[in-house]
Amino acid sequence: MKKLFEKWNSISLIQRIVCGLVIGVILGLVVPQATGIAILGDVFVGALKAIAPLLVFFLLISALCHAGKSHGGIIKTVIIMYMFSTFLAALVAVIASRLFPVTLTLADAATDMAAPDGIVEVLKTLLMNMVANPVSSLLNANYIGVLTWGVIIGVGMRAANDTTKKVLDDISNGLSQVVSWIISMAPFGILGLVFSSISSNGLEIFSEYGKLLLVLVGSMLFIYFVTNPIIVFWCIRKNPYPLIFKCLKKSAITAFFTRSSAANIPVNMKACEDWGMDKDTYSVTIPLGATINMDGAAITITVMTLAAANTLGIHVDFLSGIVLSILATLAACGASGVAGGSLLLIPMACSLFGISNDIAMQIVGVGFIIGVIQDSVETALNSSSDLLLSASAEFRQWRLEGKEIKY
């Protein structure tokens, strides 16, 4: 048994995940009635979601309670890059929607969903999540609250004695070890997740709403392979694509199948650790990215809103498209605090063009239909960009200090 375990660990995690993916597809097509296989995926995602809030909370406190040198410059750079990248994603979605206009055949959709009335409500939700009870934030995986209280408590404990700080370090290191154990089980989790998608939807899900999916996914791929490399090159002044593909391997694959940026926080943090990045920095920027770096959400909101406008024959000029991009950027940053994520922010964006809530909710219904693909690619873009931009900002600092960039 020990030799088998050692042999298992000697195989690359990516290779193990690919094997799990292939087996999941085969089982989903051959024995779709074996629903028990899907439990593997549920357990894997559940374990990641359960440990992530605790990991973020204690890593933040442990990092900030040590009064070392300030990392505010890197964190400030990362925040600017997050916001700029999200706005750029919305703008690309506007251009793509103008070049390849999409119209939809609308059907009845659920009317009992509660979408936010406007950006003020989104911002209010964001602020209330910041001051939510820290215990309830941990229990409900409210990462905005976890971030806020983690920062406040970490700064407040800078005056603690060394023994207390050592205890906090030990807790965060222990949680990191638990995360590494969970991540090693990713191949089985991916197997279960893929089986669940294929057995429930079959391969035909890849052919429905084809043009809409092409615009959505095409915009997301454009951001990751065209605009993000430009940002990365500005940071590291060398070929950005090796880092781009490293982040895809390390982060995007698991994010695609878990469809949860929160569940992927431990995966991204492990990658940062492997690259020798500063724990005091990435323990802040990675969870922050899971809440405000929402390129995929901004694209989804923009493309779906413009599809609704095209369907109704509403002309949207380019200036209005820029206003929509700004709104989508702000709304996407608050998506994690709104039930239903990015899709339920579509009615708010639709209100810019006088589109009724009834019509907008039908667009939301279409979003749920294509969600198997759209949400997976969106999460992969969001989460892998968290890792990419966080790493790029720190590598920029390394370059300025004359330190060799290795990853």
Residue 335's pLDDT is: 60
Residues in contact with 401: Cβ distance below 8 Å, sequence separation at least 6, in sequence order:
none
Residue 122's pLDDT is: 55
Per-residue pLDDT of the chain (407 residues; tens, 9 = 90+): 667 766 766 776 667 877 887 898 889 888 888 888 889 888 887 887 788 788 778 877 877 776 554 455 788 889 899 989 999 999 999 999 999 988 876 654 444 444 445 556 656 766 787 888 989 888 887 767 887 888 889 888 888 888 888 888 888 788 878 877 887 787 888 888 778 877 876 665 555 478 888 999 999 999 999 999 999 999 998 899 999 999 998 899 888 887 777 778 888 988 998 898 988 888 888 988 887 788 988 999 999 999 988 888 888 888 888 888 888 887 777 564 443 457 767 877 887 787 876 787 778 777 776 776 788 898 899 999 999 999 999 999 898 888 888 77
List the end-to-end C-alpha distance of the chain, in Å, as a whole number: 34
Buried b / exposed e along 118-143 (16+ C-beta atoms within 10 A):
ebeebbebbeebeebebeebbeebbb
Residues in contact with 9: Cβ distance below 8 Å, sequence separation at least 6, in sequence order:
184
Residue 204's pLDDT is: 56
In angstroms, the CA 379 to CA 344 distance is 16
CB of 106 within 8 A of CB of 315?
no
CB of 130 within 8 A of CB of 145?
yes
> Which residue has 């309670």 as its token pair?
65
